Structure 1
Amino acid sequence: MATYIFKETQRFSQLWIWVLLAFSAGIVLFSVFNPYESNINDIWIPLGIIGLVFLLFLSLSLKTRIDSTSLSFSYFPFIRERKYSFQDIVAMELKEYNSLWEYGGWGIRYNFEYWAYNTGGRFGIIVKTKDKKFLIGTHQPEEAKKALAMFEEYKSQNHGS
């Protein structure tokens, strides 16, 4: 069996997200220097919230790894590493999807059928276990196909178990 390792780390890198955050921070900062503002101490709470949101978006990362026997992923800072042996996975497939329409956006989402973990893009790996189904977004569909082929080879050699 081929020993290919698929590794991907994703972050929120869409320009529009950062522009929106910067615009929000600009409004807060503008109000600090507004001569009509009566109490400058009122600005620290909104400024702190904006700062925390910036830190959250900077720290968010979706890490995926598929090796010859397992799939693992984490979505820092919300989900620690989850690891699934190929023996526990019934099926994996690459899917092209629209996160906004199918899940209502990006991040950790649920569409009443299964969970999705993504940061953007239009491709994902659907993973089905005996009792779970979820999607992990990927920005590298061609590389993911190689990992899925390795999974299929594993399943065929082990008679689907």
Structure 2
Amino acid sequence: MQVIFRERQRFRQVWLWVMILGVAAMFWAGFVYQVLLGGAFGNRPVSDVQLAIVAALVGVGLPWFFYKMSLVTEVVPGELRVRFWPFHLKPVTINLHELRDYEQVRYSPIMDYGGWGIRWGFKGKAYNVYGNQGVKLYFYNKDSLLIGSQKPDELLSAITIARQQKV
């Protein structure tokens, strides 16, 4: 099937990466201090093996998890597909004939939806990972859905084209 539009987005907020890498560095520092230098990390230190496991999970696993997390938006004839990895094993498919209307929007991720990710707010559901622009979809029979995008004008145009094409 012909892909009219495809966008992959990742978390790029500097403040988020400072927090994630700061937490990871704290666990690695504890590992080095306790296991390699022979000190005791914390008031009630765990065993070296337990600390090594936790340091690996948090020190490597957490940054890797956030690095790999992505929002993929695809528009094909008659459909919009959204996949937020690792939470969606298969894309969420939206049949474009179900749309009542759609528009390019600028929004406040925190005020309107409570942050980034898969979010529910007073203004409906949102899939977003970065920025404050996207396309809002309005349906005949369910709540609105916001798809965050770094290329909202291209996404809007692709939806318009895909609605006109036969599946």
Q: What range describes the TM-score normalised by the shorter chain of this pair?
A: 0.7 to 0.9
Pairing 1:15–2:14 present: yes
SS of the residue corresponding to residue 21 of structure 1 reads: helix
Q: Which amino acid aligns with 2:146?
A: L
| Aligned residue pairs, count | 152
Pairing 1:43–2:51 present: yes
Structure 1 segments unaligned to the other structure (5+ residues):
none
> Partner residue of 2:156?
145
- The answer (yes or no) to whether the contact 1:4–1:146 under 8 Å persists in 2 is no
- Give, in whole Å, the separation in 2 of the partners of 1:127 and 1:112: 15
- Give, in whole Å, the separation in 1 of the partners of 2:52 and 2:102: 48
Residue by residue over 1:45-78, the C-alpha shift from the partner in whole angstroms, topping out at 9 and shown as x without a partner, is 4314313322321221111112342211111111
SS of the residue corresponding to residue 145 of structure 2 reads: strand
Q: Which runs of 4+ in 1 moved over 3 A?
A: none
- The answer (yes or no) to whether the contact 1:4–1:67 under 8 Å persists in 2 is yes
SS of the residue corresponding to residue 64 of structure 2 reads: helix
What TM-score do the two structures reach when normalised by structure 2? Answer: 0.78
Pairing 1:26–2:29 present: no
What TM-score do the two structures reach when normalised by structure 1? Answer: 0.80
**Cα RMSD for the two superposed structures:** 2.4
1:115-134 superposed matches below 5 A: 115-129=125-139, 130-134=141-145
| Residue 106 of structure 1: how far off its partner (Å) | 0.7
| Residue 36 of structure 1: how far off its partner (Å) | 3.0
